[in-house]
Structure 1
Amino acid sequence: MFSFVVSPKNIIDFFSSQNLDAIGKVNDEDISYKEFATRVENFKAQNRNASAYGAMTVENMVWDQMVREKIYETKLAQAGVVIGEGEIWQAIIASNEVVNSPQFKDKDGKFNEDLLKAYIAGLESDTTEQGKQYLQGWLAYEKSVKQSLLTQAYNSLVNVGVGVTEAEAINDYVINNTSVSADYVYLPFSSIPNTDVKVSKDDVAEYINEHSNLYETEATRNLKLVKFSFTASQEDEDDIKHGLESLIADKEEYSKISKSTELVKGFKNTEDAKLFVEESSSDLPLVDRFQFEDELPTVAKEDIKKASVGDVVGPYKFSSYYKISKLLDVQQIPDSVQASHILINFIGSQGAQPTVTRTLADAEKLADSLLTVVKKSSKKFGTIAENYSSDPGSAAKQGSLGWFGYRAMVPEFRDYCFENKKGSVGIVKTAYGLHIIKIEDQKNFSKAYKLATIARQIQASEKTENKVFEQAEIFANELRNGGDFEAIAKEKGYAVSPVNGLKALDVYVGSVGENRRIVKWAFDEETELNATNRFDLDEKGYAVVMLTNKQEKGLMSATSAFSQVEPILIKQKKAELLEEKMTAGSLEGIAKANNIKVESFSNVTLGAPTIPGVGIEPGVVSAAAVSKQGVLVNNIVGDKGVFAIVNKAVTVPEADATKVNVKTVNNMVKSTVSSQLYNGLKDESSIEDYRAARY
């Protein structure tokens, strides 16, 4: 079914619909909560794996898309450009997804626009849940087409005014290929320990006020927390092992029915190990297949290899489980098989086309008759596969599936191919239908083991969980009574984890992982600075959290910006100290005063300003290039330290047009602009996000 495919007349109405109940604004235009929530739900309905995404992932994807749409719509409206209903429709009927869809092709295999219109009309009149889902998928597809057209239109407008002239390209070539040779000395910042340079909050405040455009921020919160995890104690682990051990041997149990004791077979002597695993409520599903040696659990591998069929190995600890394993079978099996098949599907089989009317009984009759034919004459297998198989991929190759590994196929198909001999032909039923299988070849035989394993996850008992709760609650109570977070945690041996820069829509909270409850608490207006709270961690334990800093939207506070600005100010203060050591009038004098050597570099270009032994220093190389030859220039603050230089030579290449490909330069410029354009438009837009109040 063409499942992502509203009619052209609905496009404009759909896109322009709004709700006064806004969840945000872009350039003073509301983003409707109703539309936002609808698009989130539609995305989840259209994407089977959406449930595997982290919390807020889908919401963020939809938000970003809606913000992008609003920005481009605003810019194009300002430029007098409108993406019309007709343009969207033309883009749709020119897209590969639509043109190549079999359901929109006529009997000659050509795309038929009327078939698409009929399909859309059918979606609009279909009141079934599946029909509604397909309609929403088509709506989403149309939105993506419009967004693509918006982006293309604006990028085209911008690219018209972007480019370089031949003279500009030549000038750029000359600058980048100008090379410099110079003598120099330098005092590295690393020569002064960070502890010798003090940076105060006042220093940071002064710096961010002078560079306010760099330190605008959205609202953030800082926390510190102690995590109390439900971790199994040694007593818990011992109880788990003893529980598994009790399953191995036979035992007598009192029967209410016979009113006497009866012998109940244990795991070792049971005649149905698979049923025993199921009734024992194993924490891991049964692996009902052979396992090669390299797949066996490392800690039990040697014991399993030494065991006889029927023996039970364990309990043994593997990963986060204790296990006991019964050896059911040992065989020499291939690691690869070459096989062919003829698939006969029927109503209800997976992948069957809607046109299939064959019942299971009909399929069985057909499969039996075809099997009889191929058993009499194996040479006919390929022809029969071409004419009867429901698998078009292998049918085109006379049924051949080529070589495949042990775990490549569904269990029933796998077991037949790997547990029967080369040349065997038989019928196997899977979810896809009935398969007539012919084993063409097998290779790389080795010993494989079939196990039945009962697993118990290693987890804290109720007794241990109660103890963890008590520890968390005692700690939280001490804080409520005015105790010092760090001091109490240190006294009790608890690890304190800082969480800095938490944003209102963040999902992950440091070592705690996903926890929107903590984020919402931290941003609640009633949560005061230094407030504490205990949070449940969804059956994983508890976290005791303190709010240590509030940064509201706007200019960062000195506290919030300290970790970012401190390295900058340390570098500045070190530069001032190092400049005081460069007062001599020559390189030799500076070198002697600081017990260092005069160094040199040769033919370093402005386009690749790397000084050997030092690193990338564009400012230093540029200063050398523009200084007078033979004249000392000192106190040049670079990336790695403070430099003094004497220019020895500057080589400027000839302004040769043959060395420059203007078209290539233009393409690079346009590509750079296109890749950075949206972020630039977003930065200059006014965006208000109210989602934190709802999610």
Structure 2
Amino acid sequence: MATLQKIRNRGGLLVSIVIGLALVAFIVGDALSSGASLLNRSKNQVGEIAGEAISIQDYQQKVAENEETIKSMNNLPSLNEEQQRMIRENTWNQIVSENIMQKEYESLGLGVSGDELFDFTLGENMHPSIKQLFTDPQTGAFDKNLARERIQMILNAPANNMQAQASKQYWLNMEEQVEAARKQEKYNSLLMKGMFIPNEVAKEYAENALTTVDISFISKSYNTVSDSAVSVTNNEIKDYYNSHKYLFEQQEMRQIVYVNFDVSASAEDIQETEEWVKESIPEFTNASNVIEFANLSSEKRFQPKYYKKGEIGNEELDEFLFTEKGNGVYGPYLQDNAYNIARVADRKVMPDSVKARHILISTQTMEASRAEKLADSLAGLIRKGGDFDELARKYSADQNSAINGGDLGWFTQEMMIPSFSDTAFIAKKNEVKITKTPYGYHVLQVMDMTKPVEKVLLGIIAKEITPSQQTVNKIYNDARTFANNINTLADFDAAVTANNQTKRIANLGKNDATIPGIESAREIIRQAYLTDKPGFILMDKEKSPIFETGDKFTVAVLTNIQEEGIAPLNSVAPMIRTELIRKKKGEIIAKELTGAISGSESLLSVAQKANAQVMDATDVSFSSFQIPGAGIEPKLISEVMTLQENQISKPIIGNQGVYVVVVNSKTVETATPEQIEAAKNSALQMNMTKIYYQTLPALIKKAGVTDARYKFY
């Protein structure tokens, strides 16, 4: 959490949650670039796909649906900024891919019938992603009938059970994904039918792979010709540009220069934090409920875990906790940017790990009162000698363990959620207990355990070292002083010099979320794209030149606007000039080597005339990545593979210089039918990979996609 946000939310909890979002079945990659500048038809358009406008209302509704699904499935009250950004990105990709691919499917008459969809979701040919949901990760066992029962329970879930409805929505999304994947499979199959590899072509591939040559060569580097020896005119640069425009395609980009003002705690802030913790020691010492007092007082919440000696990671604290038997408090001590004090809340003799089995009665598909009664009944049956394995297979909602009679194997305290672990690690061997978790009621039996040892439960009060409001105000005033009277890039550069600041440069993509050295950069990026004139200072939403970026204040100037399409001539002219100089040097060297070749009967003779050294390379083939002594030279490799033995080549203009080559020996093997077939399969596989990764981006480019989300987020 950003430092500035901490100041606003003192005492708030930082919860780090990792969630997965699998909403898009296609490869989108870089194809979702912005296209041409946005048509100003409507301020409410979030983009266009193949000429069809996408309104912010429709887009946001789909985003909200996906957010609610994720929150419900993961039992989250809210989503953080990064999670929201990820969902917005995946939702946009989903809309683009569905819109474009659906038009392709309709034009080709591709679809998935109801019977076909049933077969892939609940029938005999369940989709692998559905099988995975109901497959035991340890044994790999999958029960198709049991999976069908669980899915039917989800679909028939009561409307008033929010968690169950979330599961139902997740399943409906899964059905959509399976249907989309099936259409894509049919589409790819059609494309593959057109990727025919003739036998003669496959034979050539196979024989090329089996052909190798041993060569001798000389090289003359481009550096042997001075730049002043060649001249390049503006007309030559223009002609090259016009005939090679495809080489100069560029993505939309904005460039900024910026200065950061780090918001960090002062020495006074650090001292005040330590004093606050010290003042809490007397009350902490006398607290009757150590964990409750610590949780109410601490800015960090710690996992309630019992530690054995040597496990805490702080030798002095460890020694204190297992020596001090009273209510003593250890600290203050500095750890993880916070001052801490610690006290033993409880001591127990307990195992490091237990082996247990359980039967889960889910409250997602059953009312809580009914689930509790069923759990009580099953526990009673087991205590009277009922078969735990059989009951688990019949009643447990945890299908991963039910197939093994509810066996969870060995686990440590932190591997399970607290309420489950608390029960498992205090239970006696073979004792049958009932515990409740967010998933439902568990009938639990510990089957075995490691040797119990003494462990302690800690109460810890932590106060993070953060800058005070006074410190924040001072740093903000420094940033404001810097930004005063800055309007243009020249003003900015002068202020950097005058204030001895570090100027940074960044290239920004339209939907980027970060900038090097900045934690929360989205607003700077958004404003850079909302500005159509480079050379001026950027302003935030409140028209202030100071952006609040996580634990920094940032002042930035837009220096360049790069539109998508063909780069203008003036921006690529230096690169073209360099290429033309290299090309002309190559022609000069090639002419020199042609003269050296004339009248020479050996490569050594050519080398002596050209003042060059003869080098050797063996086992060169079409698949060679480079040639020792020459480097990465694909043109040289292709040329030598076509030469006859003992033939002095013409000068070959390459990447690093110009070469003259002699093939000393050439090995050509006849390809067997098996090798030809393997070459054909390899080529087909390569074509399949191209279809999978390049089809959608090509369709997107052809259709035209305008992404204007930066106007809103």
Range class of TM-score, shorter chain: 0.7 to 0.9
1:89 matched to 2:114? The reply is: yes
Q: Are the counterparts in 1 of residues 393 and 403 from structure 2 also a CA contact under 8 Å?
A: no
The 5 Å alignment of 1:50-69 reads 51=79, 53-69=82-98
**SS in structure 2 of the partner of residue 185 of structure 1:** strand
State the partner residue of 1:680.
698
Q: Are the counterparts in 2 of residues 591 and 598 from structure 1 also a CA contact under 8 Å?
A: yes
Give 2:101's match in structure 1, choosing from 69, 72, 75: 72
Q: Are the counterparts in 1 of residues 514 and 520 from structure 2 also a CA contact under 8 Å?
A: yes
> Whole-Å Cα distance in 2 between the matches of residues 291 and 158 of structure 1?
60
Give 2:257's match in structure 1, choosing from 221, 224, 229: 224
**SS in structure 2 of the partner of residue 354 of structure 1:** coil
Q: Are the counterparts in 1 of residues 245 and 566 from structure 2 also a CA contact under 8 Å?
A: yes
> Whole-Å Cα distance in 1 between the matches of residues 677 and 474 of structure 2?
73
1:520 aligned partner, one-letter code: R
State the partner residue of 2:675.
659
Give 1:406's match in structure 2, choosing from 400, 409, 413: 413
**SS in structure 2 of the partner of residue 544 of structure 1:** strand
Aligned residues: 635
State the partner residue of 2:212.
179
Please list the CA deviations of residues 380-436 of structure 1 after superposition, one character each: whole Å capped at 9, or x if unmatched. Answer: 674795599756656665554332222223334423443465x36263533256656
Q: Are the counterparts in 2 of residues 55 and 507 from structure 1 also a CA contact under 8 Å?
A: no
2:681 aligned partner, one-letter code: T
Q: Are the counterparts in 2 of residues 187 and 642 from structure 1 also a CA contact under 8 Å?
A: yes
**How far apart are 1:545 and its partner, in Å?**
0.4
Please list the CA deviations of residues 538-577 of structure 1 after superposition, one character each: whole Å capped at 9, or x if unmatched. Answer: 5523110011111223322467658987986797688679
**How far apart are 1:73 and its partner, in Å?**
3.9
> Whole-Å Cα distance in 1 between the matches of residues 578 and 565 of structure 2?
22
**How far apart are 1:326 and its partner, in Å?**
1.5
Q: Are the counterparts in 2 of residues 497 and 511 from structure 1 also a CA contact under 8 Å?
A: no
Q: Are the counterparts in 2 of residues 322 and 458 from structure 1 also a CA contact under 8 Å?
A: yes
1:338 matched to 2:355? The reply is: yes
Q: Which structure has greater strand proportion?
A: 1
> Whole-Å Cα distance in 1 between the matches of residues 280 and 231 of structure 2?
67
Please list the CA deviations of residues 467-511 of structure 1 after superposition, one character each: whole Å capped at 9, or x if unmatched. Answer: 1101111111152388543453245343222111x2333332332
Give 1:47's match in structure 2, choosing from 70, 82, 95: 70
In structure 2, relative to structure 1, the CA distance for the partners of 1:213 and 1:388 (3 Å cut) is closer
1:693 aligned partner, one-letter code: K
Q: Are the counterparts in 1 of residues 489 and 536 from structure 2 also a CA contact under 8 Å?
A: no
2:184 aligned partner, one-letter code: T
Q: Are the counterparts in 1 of residues 263 and 472 from structure 2 also a CA contact under 8 Å?
A: yes
In structure 2, relative to structure 1, the CA distance for the partners of 1:380 and 1:188 (3 Å cut) is farther
Give 2:342's match in structure 1, choosing from 295, 300, 325: 325
State the partner residue of 1:261.
none
> Whole-Å Cα distance in 2 between the matches of residues 683 and 609 of structure 1?
31
Give 1:523's match in structure 2, choosing from 497, 511, 529: 529
1:316 matched to 2:333? The reply is: yes
- Larger CA deviation: 226-235 vs 535-544: 535-544
1:358 matched to 2:370? The reply is: yes
1:549 matched to 2:582? The reply is: no
**How far apart are 1:159 and its partner, in Å?**
2.2
Q: Are the counterparts in 2 of residues 338 and 441 from structure 1 also a CA contact under 8 Å?
A: yes
In structure 2, relative to structure 1, the CA distance for the partners of 1:63 and 1:622 (3 Å cut) is same
In structure 2, relative to structure 1, the CA distance for the partners of 1:631 and 1:391 (3 Å cut) is closer
Q: Are the counterparts in 2 of residues 287 and 451 from structure 1 also a CA contact under 8 Å?
A: no
**SS in structure 2 of the partner of residue 287 of structure 1:** coil
Q: Are the counterparts in 2 of residues 179 and 605 from structure 1 also a CA contact under 8 Å?
A: yes
> Whole-Å Cα distance in 2 between the matches of residues 94 and 338 of structure 1?
39
> Whole-Å Cα distance in 2 between the matches of residues 318 and 200 of structure 1?
65
> Whole-Å Cα distance in 2 between the matches of residues 505 and 612 of structure 1?
43
In structure 2, relative to structure 1, the CA distance for the partners of 1:584 and 1:205 (3 Å cut) is same
**SS in structure 1 of the partner of residue 472 of structure 2:** helix
1:649 matched to 2:682? The reply is: no
> Whole-Å Cα distance in 2 between the matches of residues 659 and 365 of structure 1?
67
**SS in structure 2 of the partner of residue 626 of structure 1:** coil
The 5 Å alignment of 1:412-491 reads 412-419=419-426, 423=429, 425=431, 427-431=433-437, 437-443=444-450, 448-480=455-487, 484-491=491-498
> Whole-Å Cα distance in 2 between the matches of residues 381 and 325 of structure 1?
46
Q: Are the counterparts in 2 of residues 162 and 669 from structure 1 also a CA contact under 8 Å?
A: no
Give 1:271's match in structure 2, choosing from 288, 306, 309: 288
Q: TM-score normalised to the size of structure 2?
A: 0.74
2:79 aligned partner, one-letter code: S
Point out where structure 1 has 5 or more consecutive residues left out of the alignment. Answer: 5-18, 103-107, 251-265
In structure 2, relative to structure 1, the CA distance for the partners of 1:604 and 1:216 (3 Å cut) is closer
> Whole-Å Cα distance in 2 between the matches of residues 398 and 156 of structure 1?
43
> Whole-Å Cα distance in 2 between the matches of residues 420 and 190 of structure 1?
80
Q: Give the RMSD, CA atoms, in angstroms.
A: 4.8
State the partner residue of 1:256.
none
Query: Percent identical across equivalent pairs?
Result: 23
Q: Are the counterparts in 1 of residues 392 and 402 from structure 2 also a CA contact under 8 Å?
A: yes
In structure 2, relative to structure 1, the CA distance for the partners of 1:399 and 1:29 (3 Å cut) is closer
**SS in structure 2 of the partner of residue 51 of structure 1:** coil
**How far apart are 1:22 and its partner, in Å?**
5.2
**How far apart are 1:530 and its partner, in Å?**
3.3
Give 1:247's match in structure 2, choosing from 256, 275, 280: 280
State the partner residue of 1:607.
623
> Whole-Å Cα distance in 2 between the matches of residues 545 and 627 of structure 1?
59
> Whole-Å Cα distance in 2 between the matches of residues 152 and 202 of structure 1?
51
1:156 aligned partner, one-letter code: S
**How far apart are 1:323 and its partner, in Å?**
1.2
> Whole-Å Cα distance in 2 between the matches of residues 400 and 128 of structure 1?
28
Give 1:624's match in structure 2, choosing from 602, 621, 640: 640
In structure 2, relative to structure 1, the CA distance for the partners of 1:400 and 1:607 (3 Å cut) is closer
Please list the CA deviations of residues 2-44 of structure 1 after superposition, one character each: whole Å capped at 9, or x if unmatched. Answer: xx9xxxxxxxxxxxxxx99754333334445554333222222
- Larger CA deviation: 457-466 vs 153-162: 153-162
State the partner residue of 1:36.
59
**How far apart are 1:590 and its partner, in Å?**
7.0
Greater gyration radius: 1
**How far apart are 1:225 and its partner, in Å?**
0.9
In structure 2, relative to structure 1, the CA distance for the partners of 1:190 and 1:66 (3 Å cut) is farther
> Whole-Å Cα distance in 2 between the matches of residues 302 and 199 of structure 1?
75
Q: Are the counterparts in 2 of residues 230 and 541 from structure 1 also a CA contact under 8 Å?
A: yes
> Whole-Å Cα distance in 2 between the matches of residues 581 and 616 of structure 1?
23
1:624 aligned partner, one-letter code: V
> Whole-Å Cα distance in 2 between the matches of residues 305 and 130 of structure 1?
42
Please list the CA deviations of residues 434-474 of structure 1 after superposition, one character each: whole Å capped at 9, or x if unmatched. Answer: 65654432226566432111111121111110111011111
Q: TM-score normalised to the size of structure 1?
A: 0.76
Q: Are the counterparts in 1 of residues 643 and 663 from structure 2 also a CA contact under 8 Å?
A: yes
